[in-house]
Amino acid sequence: MTNAQETAGRLDREGGASRSTTDAGGQEQSVLPSFPSFPAFPAFAWRVIALHTMTYMIVGLAAFFLADYGQLFENTELRHLMRPTTSPWVAIGPALQVVRGMLFALVLYPFASELIRRKNGAWLLWSLFFGLAILGTAGPSPGSLEGIIYTKVELIHHLRGLPEVLLQTALFSFGLTAWCRKPARWKNVLSIVAVALVLLMSVLGAFAAMGMLPAA
């Protein structure tokens, strides 16, 4: 009996099993048995800011070349909506994601613990982005239902941008869930270095777009 109790305790500490709780509607929800203490807001905010900034930069760069955003923003009807890729504002955009990340942290923090402790928490978090920030935006942004209905942008151009936002929000959601469940010092160090590099490249890119750096 003692050995069984010890084994159960070890599995609980290691997160080796899941348990169920009942929500307000009487439905069972699978949750992790040994969820670590949820971080205070400053630590949570940094994780959100860092992950959003890093995934935004990585996925954005990939989409820039694979989807040929330069041509898309200059030679299609999107030129009336989007700044050209040579604009300083486009270059400084990744650095400004720090502000957007803080906004995400403020909005998510009140209920993030409830989401992340669930076994399917990453999928739940991503579904919020998919439903509210991608398809169900308040304004007619490209790729959203409102954008498809109310703008003159061709459907193909709405669809071309969807892979980028779907992948970026998925990486963010699964990354944040994993980081909150298993915090580690090396993740903090790596995120600081990565965000610093994004900020540096973004600022230098803006300076170059404004002609403030010598040509290579």
Average pLDDT score, the chain: 84
For 81, the 3-state DSSP assignment is coil
- Position 27 confidence tier, pLDDT thresholds 50, 70, 90: low
Length of the chain: 216
Q: CA 93 to CA 194: how far, in whole Å? A: 16
Tell me which of 2-16, 144-158, 180-194 is least confident. Answer: 2-16
Q: CA 64 to CA 71: how far, in whole Å? A: 10
What's the pTM value of the predicted model, to 2 decimals? 0.82
pLDDT digits over 115-152, tens only? 888 989 999 999 999 999 999 999 898 889 999 999 88
The fraction of the chain above a pLDDT of 90, given in percent, is 57
